[in-house]
């Protein structure tokens, strides 16, 4: 059985694994327990890091007010541990300039919960709780993470700034989720890369609580030039291509060495059984092959 919730050209995979169309099913967004409203913001000033960050914080704060006025909670996802605290502090600084909104962020049972928070060894958790914020990332003690998760689940904190580990490893949904920026540092490559579609969809999957909400909201802030790309991703319009061509020579040599391929004809038949072949005949230009060469 082949399963995927994020594959627009699923029929190509069906052909690849020899599944007939009667045995192939597509479960789109209409099967989601709570409908998801996706909101995309394209930020033009991302070339200036500080300016872009300030604009994103202003956008986030306006959405915080809107969502908290509805009596809902939100998780803000960032891409570095330090950014969880920094983002929370930056938003709190904006909040301090608008005193009339402080009540939206306060814990309903502030004094009781404050006694529990005081037991934490994490100074950031203690500091942020007073404003209805908290942080969550893998660098925190498990005890503190459990406490933060419980507080958010109980509605004691309204805004949680977290890394993506919360989306992948913990079942903690919220009415709304927001991704702040789409550039993440890849230590293996020594450079920044774009957040992948699977990470975005995993985070978006945290939005909406079937037992509490009739819908969910997912927001993403990205450079303006990349906004269309992420819109297509989330609409499942970005075709999944093969990457076998980048290592085809090594794969063929391995099959030859193992005795699976002994003739050119066997090599051709082996290739025709690959997903690469399924996409090659339908979209040869993606693999630098002309129609005349097929």
The residue assigned the tokens 């005890």 is 143
Q: What angle do helix axes 197-204 and 227-234 make, rounded to 10 degrees?
A: 60
Domain that holds residue 282: 241-293
Same domain, 141 and 250: no
Which pair of tokens denotes residue 244? 């076998």
What value, to the nearest 5°, has the Cα angle with vertex 230 and ends 208 and 236? 75
Rounded CA separation 146/157 (Å): 13
Does one domain contain both 4 and 60?
no
Question: pLDDT (tens digit, 9 = 90+) per residue, 96-111?
Answer: 998 789 999 999 899 9
| Same domain as 279, residue 149 | no
**More confident: 157 or 169:** 157
Q: What is the mean pLDDT of residues 245-270?
A: 95
> Number of structural domains, the chain?
3
Q: Say yes or no: 64 and 170 in one domain.
A: yes
The angle that helices 264-272 and 275-282 make with each other, rounded to 10 degrees, is: 80
**Cα(first)–Cα(last) distance of the chain, in Å?**
31
Tell whether 10 and 39 lie within a shared domain.
no
Does residue 80 contact residue 135 with C-beta atoms inside 8 Å?
no
Closest CA to 162 of 194, 119, 206, 112: 206
Q: Which residues pair with 222 in a beta bridge?
A: 42
CATH number, domain with residue 260: 1.10.10.10
The CATH code of the domain that includes 41 is: 3.40.50.300
> Does 187 share its domain with 264?
no
Find out whether 197 and 149 touch, Cβ atoms under 8 Å.
no
Looking at the structure, do residues 150 and 285 belong to the same domain, yes or no? Answer: no
Q: How far apart are CA 103 and CA 65, in angstroms?
A: 11
Question: Could you tell me if 197 and 260 lie in one domain?
Answer: no
Is 85 found in the same domain as 165? yes
Looking at residue 270, its pLDDT comes to 95
Decide if 102 contacts 65 (C-beta within 8 A). no
If you average pLDDT over each of 134-143, 185-194, 205-214, which comes out highest? Answer: 134-143
The residue out of 209, 234, 259 marking a domain boundary is 234
158-190 pLDDT, tens per residue? Answer: 999 999 877 776 778 899 999 999 988 887 778
- Tell me, yes or no, whether 116 and 17 share the same domain: no
pLDDT digits (tens, 9 = 90+) for 264-274: 999 999 999 99
How does the average pLDDT of the chain come out, rounded? 89
- Residues 118 and 264 reside in one and the same domain: no
Q: Per-residue pLDDT tens for 50-94? A: 898 999 999 999 999 999 999 999 999 999 999 999 999 999 999
Q: Which H or E run includes 127?
A: helix 123-129
Whether residue 34 sits in one domain with residue 23: no
**Whole-prediction pTM value?**
0.76
Confidence of residue 19 (pLDDT cuts 50, 70, 90): confident
């Amino acid at each position: 059985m082949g399963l995927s919730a994020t594959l627009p050209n699923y029929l190509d995979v069906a052909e690849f694994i020899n599944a007939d169309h009667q045995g192939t099913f597509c479960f789109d967004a209409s099967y989601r327990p709570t409908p998801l409203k996706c909101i995309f913001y394209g930020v033009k000033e991302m070339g200036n890091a500080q300016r872009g960050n300030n604009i994103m914080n202003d956008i986030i704060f306006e959405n915080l007010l809107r969502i908290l006025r509805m009596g809902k909670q939100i998780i803000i996802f960032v891409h570095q541990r330090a950014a969880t605290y920094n983002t929370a502090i930056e938003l709190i600084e904006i909040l301090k300039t608008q005193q009339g909104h402080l009540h939206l962020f306060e814990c309903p049972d502030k004094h009781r919960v404050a006694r529990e928070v005081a037991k934490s060894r994490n100074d950031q958790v203690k500091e942020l709780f007073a404003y209805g914020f908290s942080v969550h990332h893998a660098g925190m003690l498990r005890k503190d993470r459990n406490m933060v998760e419980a507080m958010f689940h109980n509605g004691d904190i309204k805004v949680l700034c977290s890394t993506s580990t919360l989306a992948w490893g913990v079942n903690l949904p919220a009415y709304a989720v927001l991704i702040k920026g789409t550039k993440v540092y890849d230590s293996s490559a020594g450079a920044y890369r774009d957040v992948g579609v699977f990470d975005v969809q995993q985070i978006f999957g945290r939005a909406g609580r079937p037992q509490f909400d009739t819908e969910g909201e997912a927001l993403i802030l990205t450079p303006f030039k990349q906004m269309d790309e992420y819109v297509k991703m989330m609409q499942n319009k970005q075709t999944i291509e093969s990457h076998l061509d980048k290592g085809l020579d090594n794969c063929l040599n391995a099959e030859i060495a193992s005795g699976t391929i002994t003739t050119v004809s066997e090599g051709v038949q082996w290739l025709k059984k690959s997903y690469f072949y399924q996409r090659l005949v339908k979209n040869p230009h993606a693999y630098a092959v002309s129609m005349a060469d097929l």
